[in-house]
Amino acid sequence: MRQRSLLILTAVLTTGALSLTACGSRDDKGGDAAAGGGTTVVIGVDAPLTGDLSALGLGIKNSVDLAAKQANEKKYVDGVTFKIEALDDQAQPSSGQQNATKLVANKNVLGVVGPLNSSVAESMQKVFDDAKLVQVSPANTNPALTQGQDWNDGTKKRPYASYFRTSTTDAIQGPFAAQYLFNDAKKKKVFVVDDKKTYGAGLAATFKAEFVKLGGKVAGEDHVNPDTKDFSAVVTKIKNSGADVVYYGGEYPAAGPLSKQIKASGAKIPLIGGDGIYSAEFIKLSGKEGVGDLATSVGAPVETLPSAKEFVENYEKAKYKEAFEAYGGYSYDSAWSIIEAVKKVVDDNGGKLPSDARTKVLDAMKGVSFDGVTGKVSFDEFGDATNKQLTVYRYEGNAWKPVKSGTYTG
Amino acid sequence: MNELPQQLVNGLLLGSMYGLVAIGYTMVYGIVQLINFAHGEIFMTGGFGALTVWLILPGGTTLWLALPLMIIGAIIVAVTIAVGAERFAYRPLRGGPRLAPLITAIGISLALQQAVWAWYPGATSSLTFPEIPGGPFHFGSVTIQTGDIFLLTAAPLSMAILGYFVMKTRTGRGMQATAQDPDTAKLMGINTDRIIVVAFALGAAFAAIGAVAYGLKYGEVNFRMGFILGLKAFTAAVLGGIGNIYGAMIGGLALGLAETLATAFIADIPGMQQLGGQSWADVWAFVLLILVLLFRPQGLLGERVADRA
């Protein structure tokens, strides 16, 4: 019997140990902008650079790197050379917080772009706010990050003054998808699935509320564990529910296989999700069966905006190994807003960085306004982007094609 | 309840996969009392071995032709790694404290994950695995995917072959003897070192077949696929009675069915909506495990069955 208790004890211990070690962080020093005299300002980047979501994360890192290089090339801020320091959060809140602490400790860091995941952002906000270090996320869409936990009851309260974002929020994205499905695609019965994470659950809730308000029916609901790949039980429920569309609140590593398994079960209904599934990886994972699936994403299609043409050209010229993906334009704009703020601080201080540069940069962020890759970039009193453009994409052929773009109006 | 037949099939399929991987845990434990936590990663390398064979074969090869080669490739890769781990990591520690090889196993598990992540081209994200064309097949209200046919054939076939091997062959009887009493077995002229290698190799081979089934079923392989599945398979082995090869399969099926049925039906019980759905399936599966261990600490089929191997 002694053996058995040892067996059970070790099983429990190792389960714990394995799940802990799985969250270890891996540093990635990116950006090799040549330091050419003067002051060096570091823009931190935090994103998942490895793991399932690395396609999106590497796009963010490369785009920030591009912004830093462009600023250096143009000598945009006199006497200041920009460098990036990219850290990998593996989409884990615990790693994100460690990275935040690391970035705060580096005195040359005057702004941070990232993270990708809303749940990671929650763990970082306070660390940055305590250090008065500006954080601009290109991808977080959870409304609570800027408007407080009670945003849905109409009492908006900004929790952290150092947090900004260039993307729009789920409070807009979910309802936008609902309106498109109900009014344009004429879908009346939806099955709502989410992954219980901050982003996925928030998105699914705002979508469902609007869809029901419009008169649509919810045929069923389920929550999945995004770490597993077997959705057969959920898929069978979806098929038998008679829904004509599935809404998935979550990201492509689970959405791709889910879509594929839905189609394979014989239910020929499209899956629609938010910007977390708007990725070339979704197309790879869902395969040919996924054709007809839909995704909403923040902003107008980056490739079609005139202001974005230059970004796409420069990105191709820089020959990054990975595509800029869904958040490339937003990451570039996030980095550029920090660069603008640094420029203002330096200009106001007679061409030099003041000693309290972080606080000054934070103040300057409120007044930032410029024409970026994704349109006009500026922030409202909550730190949210003032640009509230959204686009619905459909998976056609072997790529996402924009079908409808617009601004959400209540 | 008209979805019950389909959900039962879903559960059996998932359970067969757990069972195939659980065999490796249970055989190694039965003979050297080691929980080989690297086994989930050996399963994963099998999947990558099969994928490599597919990528090397000239384009246009039909999957039916390639499949036997892929299975052989998967088995070669998985068995090589398992036997290598046994020879160079576990054997030097044999006779040492029980915890030493266990921690080593965890180390090997992490090392294998990271090695595949770092050195297999493109493995930082999921890689597409070829799929069997055609299908799906409909039997009444039940739909079966073409990829599942492989699993449905491979799992019982593997069990039959393993059962025959352990019961009827000389090496198999040697395994039983070693499991019962290694020292006496050695006195009787059994080369226990060789028997242990065979146990590792067999477990790895079945994991490799499971990995091919995984790839065909889900259409992808990734460097993390062995982690959760390995834990589930270990659970299945304990549930069925660790050390018992039939217990591994029974435990796998029980676990797969429990997860699937919990996902499907718990939410329909009045007042239980909050506790249903797929995200709670693991909780219910482990509730089942705890209940079984409370009333039958030796697992469903127990450890003291004569054909323990």
What are the pLDDT digits (tens) for A53-79?
Answer: 888 999 999 999 999 999 999 999 988
CA distance A202 to chain B (A): 16
> For A246-275, what is the mean pLDDT?
93
Q: How would residue B237 be classed by pLDDT, with cut points 50, 70 and 90?
A: very high
What is the structure's pLDDT at A36? 44
What is the structure's pLDDT at A12? 59
Please tell me which residue, A248 or A289, carries the higher pLDDT value: A248
Out of B231, B234, B260, name the one closest to residue A233 (CB). B260
* Residue numbers of A between 181 and 200 with CB closer than 8 Å to B: 195-196
User: What is the gyration radius of the CA atoms in chain A, in angstroms?
Assistant: 22
d(CA A299, CA A388): 7
For residue range B125-164, list pLDDT tens digits in order: 788 888 888 777 888 888 888 888 999 999 999 999 999 9
Please tell me which residue, A311 or B272, carries the higher pLDDT value: A311
What is the structure's pLDDT at B308? 46
d(CA A207, CA A211): 6
- On whether any CB of chain B is under 8 Å from the CB of A264, the answer is yes
> For A316-329, what is the mean pLDDT?
89
- On whether any CB of chain B is under 8 Å from the CB of A50, the answer is yes
For residue range B99-108, list pLDDT tens digits in order: 899 999 999 9
Mean pLDDT of chain A: 87
What is the structure's pLDDT at A31? 38
What lies within 8 Å, CB to CB, of A317 at 6+ separation is none
Asked whether this complex has an ipTM greater than 0.95, the answer is no
Check whether A26 has a pLDDT greater than 50. no
CA distance A369 to chain B (A): 37
Sheet holding A163-165, edge to edge: A80-88, A39-47, A109-113, A134-137, A163-165
Which residues in chain B touch residue A7, judged by CB atoms under 8 angstroms apart? 35, 238, 242
Check whether A248 has a pLDDT greater than 50. yes
> For A246-261, what is the mean pLDDT?
93
| Beta carbon pairs, A and B, within 8 Å | 116
DSSP reduced 3-state for B299: coil
For residue range B65-100, list pLDDT tens digits in order: 899 999 999 999 999 999 999 999 999 998 888 889
What lies within 8 Å, CB to CB, of A104 at 6+ separation is A127, A128, A130, A131, A133
What is the structure's pLDDT at A15? 57
DSSP reduced 3-state for A377: strand
DSSP reduced 3-state for A36: coil
Residue of A nearest to B223 (CA): A51
Contact A116, A92 (CB under 8 A): no
Q: How would residue B275 be classed by pLDDT, with cut points 50, 70 and 90?
A: confident
Mean pLDDT of chain B: 89
Check whether A1 has a pLDDT greater than 80. no
CA distance A19 to chain B (A): 9
- DSSP assignment of B231-279 equals HHHHHHHHHH-TT-HHHHHHHHHHHHHHHHHHHHHGGGSTT-GGG-SGG
B257 vs A145, A264, A310, B284, CA distance in Å? 40, 20, 55, 11
Check whether A22 has a pLDDT greater than 50. no
What is the structure's pLDDT at B239? 93
Indicate the length of chain A as a whole number.
410
CA distance B229 to chain A (A): 8
What is the structure's pLDDT at B263? 87
Which residues in chain A touch residue B4, judged by CB atoms under 8 angstroms apart? none
What is the structure's pLDDT at A20? 47
What is the structure's pLDDT at B143? 85
CA angle A225, A25, A170 (to 5 degrees): 45
Residue of A nearest to B125 (CA): A52
Buried b (16+ CB within 10 A) or exposed e, A365-375: beebeeebbbb
What is the structure's pLDDT at A338? 95
CA distance B117 to chain A (A): 9
pTM of the model: 0.78
What is the structure's pLDDT at B273? 73
- Does the distance separating the beta carbons of A240 and B263 come in below 8 Å? no
For residue range A170-218, list pLDDT tens digits in order: 888 999 999 999 999 999 999 999 998 888 998 999 999 999 999 999 9
Which one of A10, A230, A238, A263 makes the best mutation probe of the B interface by having the most chain B beta carbons within 10 Å?
A230
Check whether A32 has a pLDDT greater than 70. no
For residue range A115-142, list pLDDT tens digits in order: 999 999 999 999 999 999 999 999 998 8
Asked whether the bond before B133 is cis by omega within 30 degrees of 0, the reply is no
Q: How would residue B232 be classed by pLDDT, with cut points 50, 70 and 90?
A: very high
d(CA B89, CA B105): 8
- DSSP assignment of A235-284 equals HHHHHHHT-SEEEEES-HHHHHHHHHHHHHTT----EEE-TTT-SHHHHH
Q: How would residue B303 be classed by pLDDT, with cut points 50, 70 and 90?
A: low
Beta pairing class for A399-407 and B142-144: unpaired
> For A74-88, what is the mean pLDDT?
92
Least confident stretch, A15-24, B172-181, B215-224: A15-24
What is the structure's pLDDT at A14? 56
Q: Provide the CA B308 distance to its chain's centre, in angstroms.
A: 18
Check whether A270 has a pLDDT greater than 90. yes
Q: How would residue A34 be classed by pLDDT, with cut points 50, 70 and 90?
A: very low
Q: How would residue B50 be classed by pLDDT, with cut points 50, 70 and 90?
A: very high
> For A321-339, what is the mean pLDDT?
91
Beta pairing class for A134-137 and B142-144: unpaired
What is the structure's pLDDT at A172? 86
